Chain A
Amino acid sequence: AQSVTQPDIHITVSEGASLELRCNYSYGATPYLFWYVQSPGQGLQLLLKYFSGDTLVQGIKGFEAEFKRSQSSFNLRKPSVHWSDAAEYFCAVSLGNNDMRFGAGTRLTVKP
């Protein structure tokens, strides 16, 4: 079955530490890939997207993600986390038919 998996429900990191949030997908073809962030009480905001080309993509707020076809993964990274990065992060995939499917989300807590 087609699916998007975010293995980590909750991650806690110290401010200034590096961050990696995992995302794996299970689709027959290479999908379009997205990361969104959701602050409490808000809708989702796009961080970055991958359609084709360079497999390392840069996004807003200092985030980047790397597409690895062999691992069916699209992990999100940030070299140094800020307290304002505390939020919930969602990986999403689309097969180009505008039917976008989301992972269950990873909640990020940032310790001072």
Chain B
Amino acid sequence: NAGVTQTPKFRILKIGQSMTLQCTQDMNHNYMYWYRQDPGMGLKLIYYSVGAGITDKGEVPNGYNVSRSTTEDFPLRLELAAPSQTSVYFCASSGELAPLHFGNGTRLTVT
């Protein structure tokens, strides 16, 4: 079982560059999420999706965009990278009212 797969594992960006963090799940979950994790801050919800074609903002959406064209994939786009976006990003998925299954994270550094 692959579960939730995130790529890449690590990435260094220069300020102003753009990139897409990939996330795919093979559990046929309707719900998918993007979190960022910063030291001492826990996880903050960036965006989530309750099904293909439906996305919504979480606590900290500024500077990010998402799309959900299929049930399996939920990419996160950074258009103009800023140092404040240096973080570890986690994708997760779940069924209805069910616990989250997490990927192993993407460590992003913006310099």
Contacts and interface: CB of A to CB of B under 8 A. Distances in A.
Contacts of B96: 98
B10 to A, nearest CB: 11
Contacts of B104: 41-43
A99 B58 contact: yes
Nearest to A32: B97
A43 B42 CA distance: 12
A96 B41 CA distance: 23
A51 B40 contact: no
A98 B94 contact: yes
Nearest to A90: B42
What is the size category of the interface that chain A forms with chain B?
Answer: 20 to 34
What is the size category of the interface that chain B forms with chain A?
Answer: 20 to 34
Interface string A40-56: 01111110010100000
Interface stretch (B13-21, B43-51, B66-74, B79-87): B43-51
Interface in A1-53: 4, 6, 9, 32, 34, 36, 41-46, 49, 51
Contact of A98 (B42, B44, B48): B48
B50 A104 contact: no
A99 B44 CA distance: 11
Nearest to B99: A46
B99 A34 contact: yes
A49 B48 CA distance: 21
B102 A98 contact: no
Given A32-B97, A43-B105, A90-B42, 13 more contacts: A4-B42, A9-B40, A41-B104, A43-B90, A43-B102, A43-B103, A44-B102, A45-B102, A100-B100, A101-B59, A102-B43, A102-B44, A104-B42
Interface of B: 4, 31, 33, 35, 40-45, 48, 50, 58-59, 90, 92, 94, 96-97, 99-100, 102-105
Interface of A: 4, 6, 9, 32, 34, 36, 41-46, 49, 51, 90, 94, 96, 98-105
